[in-house]
Chains A and B, each alone.
Chain A
Amino acid sequence: DAGVTQSPTHLIKTRGQQVTLRCSPISGHKSVSWYQQVLGQGPQFIFQYYEKEERGRGNFPDRFSARQFPNYSSELNVNALLLGDSALYLCASSLVADTQYFGPGTRLTVL
């Protein structure tokens, strides 16, 4: 069975640009969560969606937004990129959001 997939694998942007990251959950999973993992730290919760509705938001600025589509895939958008946004962005899927299965992540570098 296919696991959580994320695209792209790596991304390089410059300050001020906008970026869109994509996630496809495990088949049958209706919940998607997004996390930011800065080098040397644990993942930090950004968003959670269930059945296309936002169920939770972490302590991130409004430059971060997300949405979930009818097929349960999801996009994370980050506007006005800052150097500090450089991180590994992880997507996790779950049936009901209690046990989350993580994708390989998208490595974002902001120059």
Chain B
Amino acid sequence: AQSVTQPDIHITVSEGASLELRCNYSYGATPYLFWYVQSPGQGLQLLLKYFSGDTLVQGIKGFEAEFKRSQSSFNLRKPSVHWSDAAEYFCAVVPITSGTYKYIFGTGTRLKVLA
């Protein structure tokens, strides 16, 4: 069965420090890949997505992610974190099957930013 693993439940970084959030998936082929951010009590906002092509994708708010097929990973990065980045981050994969685009989400990584 397809699955998504976000190994880090909580991450704390200082403002201005770099950030990397890990995401690994289990799927036979290359799925569609997404990162979403969720602020407390809010819905999910799309940060970036990967369907094919260049394995380094740029998103909103200065985020980027790199797809590594050999490692089945899609890690999210930001060179300098701002206090407003504190939120929960979800990686999602969509197995490419006919008819249904069923998102499979990881359990999320909660980011805390220290001033």
Interface residues of A (CB under 8 A from B): 4, 31, 33, 35, 40-45, 48, 55-56, 58, 90, 92, 94, 96-105, 107
Complex Cα gap A53–B42 (Å):
28
Tell me which residues across on chain A come within 8 A of B104, comparing CB atoms. Answer: 45
Q: Is B84 among interface residues, defined by CB-CB distance under 8 A?
A: no
Complex Cα gap A101–B101 (Å):
13
Q: Say yes or no: A102-B100 contact (C-beta < 8 A), given A41-B108, A42-B90.
A: no
Tell me which residues across on chain A come within 8 A of B105, comparing CB atoms. Answer: 42-44
Whether A105 lies near B43 (C-beta < 8 A) is: yes
* Interface footprint category on B: 20 to 34
Q: Is B26 among interface residues, defined by CB-CB distance under 8 A?
A: no
A22, chain B: closest CB distance, angstroms: 15
B53, chain A: closest CB distance, angstroms: 15
Q: For residue A94, which residue of chain B has the nearest CB? A: B101
Whether B103 lies near A33 (C-beta < 8 A) is: yes
